[in-house]
Amino acid sequence: MTGNEAVAEAMRQVNPDVVAAYPITPQTEIVQIFSTFVADGLVKTEFVTVESEHSAMSATIGAAAAGARAMTATSSQGFALMWEMLYIAAGLRLPIVMPVVNRALSAPINIHCDHSDTMGARDSGWIQIFSENAQEAYDNVIQAVRIAESRDVLLPAMVCMDGFIVSHGMESVKLLKDEEVRGFIGGYEPAYSLLDVDHPITVGALDFADWYFEHKRQEAAAEVPVAEVVRRVGEEYGKLSGRSYGLFEAYRLDDAEVAVVALGSTAGTAKAVVDELRREGVRAGVLKIRLYRPFPGDEIVRVLSGVKAIAVLDRSDTFSTMGGPVFIDIKASMYAPIYDDSVYDDSVHGPVRGSTHDRDARDTGARDTTQRPVIVNYIYGLGGRDIDLEQIRKVYERLQAIATTGEAGQCVSYLGVRE
């Protein structure tokens, strides 16, 4: 099945109380398929066919604030139209789950894959999980429900998959049984509900300088346990499905001297290149980031610490002369551990063993910053431009040269563009 079909299937099995959505290429298929589930009585969902994506997210927010398990899905310009409401969904701490089929942003208009849409919302407070293929997109939607609704978290989550490449590509996908999914996600107990008319609450009050900061501080704190929750849910999902998930996939990284970092379908291509290179005796690896927001920077740096040269592949640009967003994040993470005691407080969440913010792990995080790997950045694949094995192989060849000489040369390059 296609990625869109797999995601629609996951949504059917999650069986949300409300879905409010608007069609946009390449997400449209999800909405169409889901509407047939509604029409055929396969779900209990109220399906709201809104007149725009802004209203899609607004209605989803309203439904979630009314205590419903609520979902939507979008792409690109539609995602951009939701922008205002993304921050509101996170600020109101509503555990909405939204599949996003990644597509380039206008202008010029383009319907094909890159990550410009969701990357722009990386600081909106949403959890962002990237999927390599249809199987992962399916698995991630189901897990995202548990992650977002976790009482330690209560944040909205978007599950990203590459437009057309994954959304329309055919592959075999292993589905769980309906009752397995329902058992895994469990019933939904909202943190608050507007429909509890005996206990009227005010949602979305005007928050001046005397309290706004505290409420945003809470939101920042809610991001901290996400990594641990993602890992826990990923392990539990592995027991159910045989497919475990963590924060990222470290592919042949243990002894790697050169490594590529990528998100989404490109990681699969990079893995194929690594297999070739390994056969040739090159110690190459791939880091595929799954949880992109909140960014598990400390853990990523730790897993890359033995690598001599790293290339970060970004399928979007920041147009800041700083390189792509993933590159910027990893570079920042290499400088020093991010969190300190004032941010992560055991007394509130209890000790979270083995997490990014585990005290012991953090203590060892006082790393020697003079021994950092050399890191370069490639921006590639904008607007659906193909990336193939040969291009990635060239990246590894450059990394081998960097690893030998220690000289990085130009830091940010554009891969696959006509010069």
The residue (of 87 and 244) whose beta carbon lies closer to another protein is 87
Distances (CA, A) of 333 to 38, 69, 209, 377, 404: 45, 35, 31, 15, 24
- Using DSSP's 3-state secondary structure scheme, residue 40 falls into coil
Give the torsion sign (CA, 281, 314, 147, 188): negative
- First-residue to last-residue Cα distance in the chain: 37
Is the peptide bond prior to 325 cis by the omega test (within 30 degrees of 0)? no
**Token reading at 311:** 């290339």
Out of 1, 35, 42, 49, the only residue in the binding site for another protein (CB under 8 A) is: 49
Closest CA to 144 of 296, 287, 11: 11
228 is a contact residue toward another protein (CB under 8 A): no
> Minimum Å distance from CB 8 to another protein?
18
> Minimum Å distance from CB 204 to another protein?
4
Segment contacting another protein by CB under 8 A, of 12-20, 278-286, 357-365, 383-391: 12-20
Out of 1, 54, 169, 308, the only residue in the binding site for another protein (CB under 8 A) is: 54
The residue (of 199 and 279) whose beta carbon lies closer to another protein is 199
> Minimum Å distance from CB 38 to another protein?
11
Written as one letter, the residue type at 225 is: P
35 is a contact residue toward another protein (CB under 8 A): no
State phi, psi for 406 to the nearest 5 degrees: 80, 5
Out of 1, 66, 111, 322, the only residue in the binding site for another protein (CB under 8 A) is: 66
- Contacting another protein within 69-128 (CB under 8 A): 70, 84-85, 88, 91-93
Closest CA to 137 of 45, 264, 37: 264
How far is it, in rounded angstroms, from Cα 398 to Cα 292? 26
How far is it, in rounded angstroms, from Cα 33 to Cα 19? 12
Out of 32, 36, 39, 52, the only residue in the binding site for another protein (CB under 8 A) is: 52
The residue (of 20 and 166) whose beta carbon lies closer to another protein is 20
**Residue 230 CB: number of other CB atoms within 10 A?**
27
223 is a contact residue toward another protein (CB under 8 A): no
Out of 51, 179, 255, 407, the only residue in the binding site for another protein (CB under 8 A) is: 51
45 is a contact residue toward another protein (CB under 8 A): yes
The footprint of another protein (CB under 8 A) covers: 17-18, 20, 44-46, 48-52, 54-56, 58-68, 70, 84-85, 88, 91-93, 154, 189-192, 194-197, 199-208, 210-215, 217-218, 221-222, 348
